[in-house]
Structure 1
Amino acid sequence: MLAFDRQGSLYAAGSRLFKRASGTEQWKALDSSPFKFVSSMVFDRAGAIFAGDTKIGVFKSRDGGLSWTAMNHGLEGNALSIQALALDSRGRLYAGTWGAGVWQSVDGGASWTALNRGLRGLALNVHALAVDGDDTLYVGGEGGVFQLKSTAPASTWSAKLTPSGALTSQTLNLDFAPLAIDNGRAGCVFVGAAVQDQLFLLGSKGWQPYAGDNPTPFRSGPLGATQATLVNQLNLTGLAGTPVYAGYGQGDSPADCLTDMLQSRSYRQLFTVQ
């Protein structure tokens, strides 16, 4: 991999990192770098360098590559296999991964959010990213070429779980809204709780254990903003520390919805029993 920074210095990277300062012919090895194999580098307007590693995620340097800090909060598993990085004119950082699709950071790499709505299967194996003058992001990979327009609706969805009442008579109220682009599409909303090693899903028949097939959705049908009481006057005594999750996915069946939710990582922990 070769890349020029904004001052004209040239970086060469793979399993090692080298730098040639602007106006010189001499290369300097930056052997303090933590990398396994660097796939890409981008440079922001403040002079920071972002490097993507195919094994260990994204790193940031503020001193021309002399020292590096891991910027992987929110990235795990295949999301640490960085194949490409891109920056748009607003400073939004994108990472293309092998197996976990595309991720976005709007805070200089401090945190990451998956941008995988519409990317499934082989499309989650990303080879390259490019941003044009209108900040449209192009994603190239095994699934073809896709684009994400900068004018698209916000890339985050919202969910909030509000508890009320005593632990022996607890009520949980859900406020949920999908991505604006997903409004009206066929899908499912899931609510789950992990009790020890068993996952339970909340549906029309109450909490049901999930064994890996026939998932029970909380709601199914056209996606949209939802306000609902999940449980009313439930005795949660003895369940302290139990996490409760919510998320959603698109599809014509609950199984398809669950697969889409997991692939796009459209789920999060909302509440922990106190």
Structure 2
Amino acid sequence: MENYPKFSVLMSVYYKDVPSFFDQALSSIWLQQTIRPSQIILVKDGLLTEDLEKVIKKYIEICGPSLNIISLQRNSGLAYALSQGLEHCKYDYIARMDSDDISTPERFDKQLTFLHKNKDIDVVGSYLTEINENGDIIKELVKYPLENGELREFFSKRDPLAHPTAFFRKSFFMKAGSYTNEINLGEDTVLWYRGFINNCHFANVPHVGLLFRRTNSFYKRRSNWKKSISLLKFRLLTINRRLGYNINADIYAITYFLISISPNFIKKLAYQFFR
């Protein structure tokens, strides 16, 4: 596609992030893409380590005025950080990116081209490959359904898009609202629900757009009791009822809850075979 529209990338970083992963994430969206973003919104979610600050300083020099830093005085969580960053996104297209993943070189090209051709779609994700701490592939291909109807049905089981692969029209947030911390560590699930309930249209492109970092800390984050219980209630009482899902959706919600509170070796098996 010629004459690509300008777009923003929305990221957040906090003190527990790994500097080398963060460096690779920024490199993948600025130095390795076939098309570059016009703006990177990087939210510093509280005070950072010296090594993380060094990475930011490096990319301020590389990216120049295209890298916009938003500093929060204290660590407030991903949902709040993204909601603050969203207010600074200038353009009508917004790509999400996490600070430990790697976008593949044609990710933005594929997703922008898709949105240009499909005016009814509000947000598009992609397939992904999972890697570990060392960058080794642990799962070659994770697929998601491609079309809106399939994705709405898929949401009865689990999230329809991998959040770090999402590429939005800004109008998505005008329809669905911004990120909220209504569910602790479940901001993406809430966002997808609000998208569906407000008639947003979803899609995925059949292209690996992201190397998703699945490390030991990934499983620890999913061992949060408060998140697990809140998400179970939200699915049973809100998502499944308001979107008209049947008893199978309730069974999936309970199964996901049991996996989330299980030991890490069970989580690893579940993600390897059922993701």
Which has the bigger relative contact order, CA under 8 A and spacing at least 6?
2
Please give the TM-score of this superposition, normalised by the length of structure 2: 0.25
Structure number with bigger Rg: 1
Higher percent of residues as strand: 1
Please give the TM-score of this superposition, normalised by the length of structure 1: 0.25
